[in-house]
Amino acid sequence: MIKGHVQVDLHNHKTGLRDRIEGDNMITNAMNYVIPNLIGAGISASEIMPLCQRVLGGIMLFDGKLTEDKNNIFFPSEAHLVASAGRNTNTEYADRGSLNVAETYETDTGFQSVWDFTTSQANGTIGSLALTMAENNYYYSDPYAIDWRRGTIHNVLDGNKDAFEMYPLCYDSERGYLYYQDYNNSKVTSRYDSSERVTYYTSIFGIMKQYIPARVYGIADAVNRRKTAEKVAEFSIEIKGRSVGYGYLCSGYDGYAYLISSIDEAAEYWRVKISDYSFEISDKININLKGCKLKQGEGKAVISKGYAFLSAEDLKSIYIVNLANPADVKQAILPSDAAINTDVIALNNGGIKFGVKLSDGRYCGAFGYPDGNFVLQGRKEKSAFKGYVSIPRLITDNLMAYGNEGYDGSEGNYKSYGRQVINYLGSIFNLPQPIVKTAATSMKITYTLTNV
């Protein structure tokens, strides 16, 4: 058993005042998924040990409280990301701190990690902290990267190929079955109606099931075991005048996958039941957004935890629709120099992730929240990088990610590879009262982990 203790020290360099906040925190169940995921995939123990420097080697700061539950392990939507830090030194980005190597060491009963945030870093309201993964080969924790690009694990297998276009829908973590669709078992057909002088397109979705154990293993399972996939369901939709591809169907993390498509000033969607793996499809449901011009095309609209996120035509804002009350619509506007430049993906705890391109030609990652707020990554580069391009189509209950692109976003075949999620909540500490860090204040966070 592990016990965590946090000490937050604030120093106002203008007034000289110092303040200290400390308390014990909750260690979540995240490690119970990460360790078997990686060891069961044949990853060397040296990649994740010592646990205090790898699996719990990074830290994330949020502006609000986190639900104190051992099973609350996913990147949150109820509190916005403020900053993070890993095992390196950073002087460049305002949303990243540095490891204080001199004060970080093994204790008689555990380990102490210390992070420093300068007067220009992590400014704003801070309400909670969480330990997370620090990637081994990169030595930093990047919440925007979402998954571990160091290696691929528990990959899907199609015949003799483990690199192909695959669109994951859900994962049965108790039995080890991944459900997905791919081009080989899905197709689009068309018919021309001469009386209407219009073409109707029918999209046929074939659902595959494949045994890929990633946490719970049978006594005969080998490392990275994969059995041949079998087709378990098929459904279709017909649309007048246009077709929708397979990439339009994504998990909404509420027991359904959603096939959603924007059309001018409206959107339409179908619900596919995945909670019981029946894949029953609903009738079409319409969303009327008169006066709101929407971007059409794959990857520009998703549904996450009861909210539809619809990209505006100019890709500079997103319309957020509460599906329980479709009249409840808000327009979330990106910073004036930013535009959506990747697919938009749903996050399994609510909210969305996507990449943006800035007016100066640089790229960065972004999180969108149901309340209409955006948080853009402090790191910005002239070419694609992990934090910008990481957009997995499925995050599973056991902290695996599927359906991501390649290292630079150009190789779709990487979508069939599995990866370990890295921006999980490994611990939870809610401050007694939120603090507001300003440009006059530096901050030191001391995190002590103790074996008990």
Q: Convert the pLDDT of each residue in 219-254 to its tens digit.
A: 888 887 777 889 999 998 888 777 777 678 899 999
Distance CA 415, CA 160 (A): 16
Report CA-CA distances (Å) from 450 to 8, 108, 131, 155, 426. Answer: 18, 9, 14, 35, 14
Task: Determine which of 43-47, 85-89, 108-112, 378-382 has the lowest per-residue pLDDT on average.
Answer: 43-47
* Average confidence score pLDDT of the chain: 91
The rounded percent of the chain whose pLDDT value lies above 90 is 70
Q: Tell me the two tokens of residue 253.
A: 């993390």
Give the contacts of 249 (CB within 8 A, at least 6 positions apart).
167, 169, 181, 205, 257, 258, 259, 272
pLDDT score of 159 more than 70: no
- Which pLDDT does position 258 carry in this prediction? 95
Q: How far is CA 449 from CA 46, 51, 128, in A?
A: 19, 10, 17
What pLDDT is stored for residue 263 in this prediction? 86
- For the entire predicted model, the pTM comes to 0.94
pLDDT band at residue 151 using 50, 70 and 90 as cut-offs: low
CA triplet 91, 364, 250: central angle to 5 degrees? 135
d(CA 233, CA 185): 10
Q: Tell me the mean pLDDT in the region 424-450.
A: 97
pLDDT above 70 (res 377)? yes
Q: Would you say residue 31 has pLDDT above 70?
A: yes
Mean pLDDT of 2-13: 96
Q: What is the pLDDT of residues 320-376, one digit of tens each?
A: 999 999 999 999 999 999 999 999 999 999 999 999 999 999 999 999 999 999 999
| Residue of 33, 140, 156 whose CA lies nearest to 387 | 140
At 325, is the secondary structure helix, strand, or coil?
coil
The C-alpha atoms of residue 253 and residue 349 are separated, in whole angstroms, by 8
* Whole-number Cα distances in Å, 441 to 10, 285, 379, 438: 6, 51, 22, 5
CB 94 within 8 A of CB 378: yes
Nearest Cα residue to 310 out of 279, 362, 354, 257: 354
Determine which helix (DSSP H) or strand (DSSP E) holds 449, and give its type and residue range: strand 441-451
Q: What is the mean pLDDT of residues 309-314?
A: 96
Which DSSP letter does residue 334 get? P
Q: Is the pLDDT of residue 407 over 60?
A: no
Does 408 have pLDDT greater than 50? no
User: Quick check: 412 pLDDT over 80?
Assistant: no
In 3-state terms the chain splits into helix, strand, coil percentages (rounded to 5) of 5, 45, 50
pLDDT band of 98, cuts 50, 70, 90 = very high
